[in-house]
Structure 1
Amino acid sequence: MEPILWEWLSVFVRWTHVIAGVAWIGGSFYFVHLDQSLKQNASLPKGAHGDAWQVHGGGFYHMVKYLVAPPELPEHVTWFKWEAYATWLSGFALLAIVYYFGARLYLIDPGVLDIGPKAAITLSFAGIAAGWLVYDGLCRSPLAASNLHLAIAGFVFLVAMSFGYSLAFSGRGAFMQMGAVMGTIMVANVFMIIIPNQRIVVADLRAGRSPDPSLGAKGKQRSLHNNYLTLPVVFIMIGNHYPLAFATRFSWAIIALVMVMGASIRHFYNTRHRGLPSPWWTWGLTALCGLAIMWLSSLGPAVTREAAAAAPPTQLAEEAEGVIQSRCGMCHAGKPLMPGLGSPPKGVKLEDLTQMTTHADEVRMVAVLTHSMPPGNMTRMTAEERETVRQWLDSVE
């Protein structure tokens, strides 16, 4: 009964995380679009920066933005924050359920760094905290005077951190760690900067003081950073299901290219929303990054082995069957021996050669082209054994 409860807990937390993320991302995209599309005109009220007319759901909306604050505070103000908080809380819960409680399975790879679960979890916590502290420090430094210089510094920092974690965690663990770092930066921007600054503005209005315009400017800058980080974070959430993204030797470089892709896509739409000429070149850059990612993933995992002479077909099939049964069979069986598994993952059974041949493409992807299976290489599948499986797979094509 316990595996069933644990599995459904993971499902419901993941569902909550996706729902909250959709709400947060949707709101972020909408307000950045609104901010970029505002137009100034002489009929605006005092203190207004611009307005926009929109139509949706059979009705018209007249949106007016005050650059600092309106002369008088309205009785009711909607605060957009709970979507962000719910996304992070559910995401951290999911990180704990999958990667912390299953550290030996998903976070640690002894072939990368042989550490225990406590050390791995501590390293993860430290990285999440360090990610925010360094990023926040950059935003408070003189670099903040230039959005471009600040963006370059932040990009270099995140790529360096991604490379560092690729030397400490499993491919999947390092990938998700960077998703957690970037997601934490985004929600901390809301919790630590945007909302507190807005509260100061509200307090000043209520006290009859003139609000500091720099508070809004800082909040807008952090909100724009969140906008540009959104697409890479979503990719990482999806990418942990695709071994070619996280289980190859250049997974850190793939994250770097994904950040460039996300920034170029957002730059295209943000520019269009401002009414400026569309920067179509961004799609060419995005396509080149996508092709580069495909090429990097084709280079294979970090540990490779030169091909040895192939054994006779019958012997090769027997050897490959023995490798897969011994290294993969504890999970991919009708009754898995792995604690916590009530059924084989994704319904894939690898108990005999017929079943192995049926799932040949999946086996090649996770055990040869990448090293995502066994997870964390917990059954210590060797490079020689992977080469045996590769030669057998080649012979049955």
Structure 2
Amino acid sequence: MYDWAVLWEWVEIAARWTHVITAIAWIGSSFYFIALDLGLRKTPSLPPLAHGEEWQVHGGGFYHIQKYLVAPAMMPEHLTWFKWESYATWLSGFAMLVLVYYLGAELYLVDPNVMDLAVWQAVLISLGSLGFGWLAYDTICKSRFGDDNTRLMIGLYVILVAMSWGYTQVFSGRAALLHLGAFTATIMSANVFMVIMPNQRIVVADLKAGRVPDAKYGKIAKQRSTHNNYLTLPVLFLMLSNHYPLVFATEYNWLIASLVFLMGVTIRHWFNTKHARKGNPHWTWGLTVILFLVIAWLSSVPMKPAEEETALNGAALTYAAAPGFDDVTSIVQGRCSMCHAAEPVWEGMYWPPKGVVLETPEQIAHEARRIYLQSGISHAMPPGNLSYMEPAERAAIIEWFRNAGTAGVKG
């Protein structure tokens, strides 16, 4: 029998790897061009229409870069477009959303203790919220309200806080913060696809036709690029949050996310000010530390009470009914539950790793695929085999999971 769980894990690994690589490329180019733009200098030797220039050294050579605020007098023969980094990051991120949260909705997306949704309802809410985010943001940017950049940034922050709270009222804590990151990343990528690149194409078309491009297109693109600059760090935090229960499984997870957006502003303000050679605002780091300490406090005071046990879904029922489940339950409770408990008894551990609790047969059935991959196929768990899981016990986990597979579950 082909091991679908292993294949599926490798599909997720490939998607996640692609997502990380493309995100590095997008964020790297974004940070570079923001720093370059802020560091441009006006010199007497600038050619007509040039806005500023910068000399840089890297890789054993020197680079002389000039920026035209609207466009040069004629179209250059070779023009490099920076767009695929953004597109590939969003597409690979959406693939991860489908693989982990849509196809694993009963485990990761839907929490009946928050809102008892059918899988299709949760997926539609997820998709609808991403579309709503872009439409609401774009409409506000194009309105008279968006003429003032400071006012617009404050308005955008209010929307993000509202979405932070709203997602936690619908999805599991883990999915809520991940969706907030996807909501923000969708705005960022759509800025590139729907605004920045179309405006650049208009400028290029005008140059080719011998027309003088309108400066408004560059101004609009600059506004959206600035928004992306300030949103990048919070998105990274939210995408990593699903690995840390102290972030997503706490009573004030929505408030934590809201404060993270403020930290993104304070950190980027320091870098932007330095790149623009306008001083060294050390106060931003002090404020960032204060915000971080408040977040750390919110994550544990008070801790979210243990959730009530929920009914088994169809897949979990199959695992619970598979031959060998009773033996596996005993193995997991004996080797894993000292850490994976609502109140871990392992010294120095105060919450279950990744929010995974393995105290009851129902919880063990829900986590069947993880147990199989982490303790059966691989020896990742227990860490360092601290609880001395025997080879025979690992073999029993593998046999149980595959017995369930023959009954119709493919991991």
Distance in 2 separating the partners of 1:56 and 1:349: 59
Equivalent position of 1:142 in the other structure: 144
C-alpha displacement of 1:159: 0.7
Where 1:351 maps in the other structure, the secondary structure is helix
Distance in 1 separating the partners of 2:161 and 2:98: 24
1:41-56 map, 5 Å: 41-56=43-58
8 A contact 2:320–2:362 mirrored in 1: no
Q: Which runs of 5+ in 1 are unaligned?
A: 306-322, 340-347, 382-397
- Across the aligned residues of Structure 1 and Structure 2, the Cα RMSD in angstroms comes to 2.8
1:21-100 map, 5 Å: 21-100=23-102
Q: TM-score, normalised by structure 2?
A: 0.79
8 A contact 1:349–1:355 mirrored in 2: no
Is residue 357 from structure 1 mapped to residue 338 from structure 2 by the alignment?
yes
Aligned match of 1:247 in 236, 246, 249? 249
8 A contact 2:320–2:361 mirrored in 1: no
Equivalent position of 2:352 in the other structure: 366
C-alpha displacement of 1:350: 6.0
C-alpha displacement of 1:260: 0.5
C-alpha displacement of 1:301: 4.6
8 A contact 1:109–1:378 mirrored in 2: no
In structure 2, relative to structure 1, the CA distance for the partners of 1:46 and 1:257 (3 Å cut) is: same
1:180-229, Cα deviation, whole Å (9 max, x unpaired)? 10010000000000000000000001111110101001001101111111
Amino acid at match of 2:184: M
Where 1:365 maps in the other structure, the secondary structure is coil
Amino acid at match of 2:130: I
Is residue 6 from structure 1 mapped to residue 12 from structure 2 by the alignment?
no
Distance in 2 separating the partners of 1:119 and 1:355: 34
1:294-350, Cα deviation, whole Å (9 max, x unpaired)? 110012454469xxxxxxxxxxxxxxxxx99x99xx99xxxx9479xxxxxxxx996
Q: TM-score, normalised by structure 1?
A: 0.81
Q: Which runs of 5+ in 2 are unaligned?
A: 322-328, 365-411
Where 1:357 maps in the other structure, the secondary structure is coil
Where 1:71 maps in the other structure, the secondary structure is coil
In percent, how many aligned pairs have the same letter?
A: 51
1:91-113, Cα deviation, whole Å (9 max, x unpaired)? 00000000000001000100000
Distance in 1 separating the partners of 2:330 and 2:22: 35
8 A contact 2:102–2:123 mirrored in 1: yes
Amino acid at match of 2:256: I
C-alpha displacement of 1:143: 2.5
1:314-325 map, 5 Å: none
Where 1:53 maps in the other structure, the secondary structure is strand
Distance in 2 separating the partners of 1:275 and 1:127: 39
C-alpha displacement of 1:18: 0.1
Is residue 119 from structure 1 mapped to residue 105 from structure 2 by the alignment?
no
Where 1:31 maps in the other structure, the secondary structure is helix
Equivalent position of 1:388 in the other structure: none
1:42-65, Cα deviation, whole Å (9 max, x unpaired)? 110110000000000010000000
8 A contact 2:55–2:63 mirrored in 1: yes
In structure 2, relative to structure 1, the CA distance for the partners of 1:128 and 1:14 (3 Å cut) is: same
Where 2:243 maps in the other structure, the secondary structure is coil
Equivalent position of 2:403 in the other structure: none
8 A contact 1:350–1:356 mirrored in 2: no
Is residue 299 from structure 1 mapped to residue 301 from structure 2 by the alignment?
yes
8 A contact 2:177–2:242 mirrored in 1: yes
1:302-313 map, 5 Å: 302-303=304-305
After TM superposition, what 4+ stretches of structure 1 lie above 6 angstroms from structure 2? none
C-alpha displacement of 1:352: 4.0
Where 2:165 maps in the other structure, the secondary structure is helix
In structure 2, relative to structure 1, the CA distance for the partners of 1:338 and 1:56 (3 Å cut) is: farther
Amino acid at match of 1:373: V
In structure 2, relative to structure 1, the CA distance for the partners of 1:60 and 1:121 (3 Å cut) is: same
1:236-265, Cα deviation, whole Å (9 max, x unpaired)? 111110010111111111111110001110
8 A contact 1:105–1:378 mirrored in 2: no
Distance in 2 separating the partners of 1:92 and 1:355: 33
8 A contact 1:100–1:107 mirrored in 2: yes
Distance in 1 separating the partners of 2:164 and 2:235: 13
Distance in 1 separating the partners of 2:87 and 2:94: 11
1:35-85, Cα deviation, whole Å (9 max, x unpaired)? 000000111011000000000001000000000000000011000000000
In structure 2, relative to structure 1, the CA distance for the partners of 1:243 and 1:378 (3 Å cut) is: farther
Equivalent position of 2:261 in the other structure: 259
Amino acid at match of 1:366: P
Amino acid at match of 1:63: I
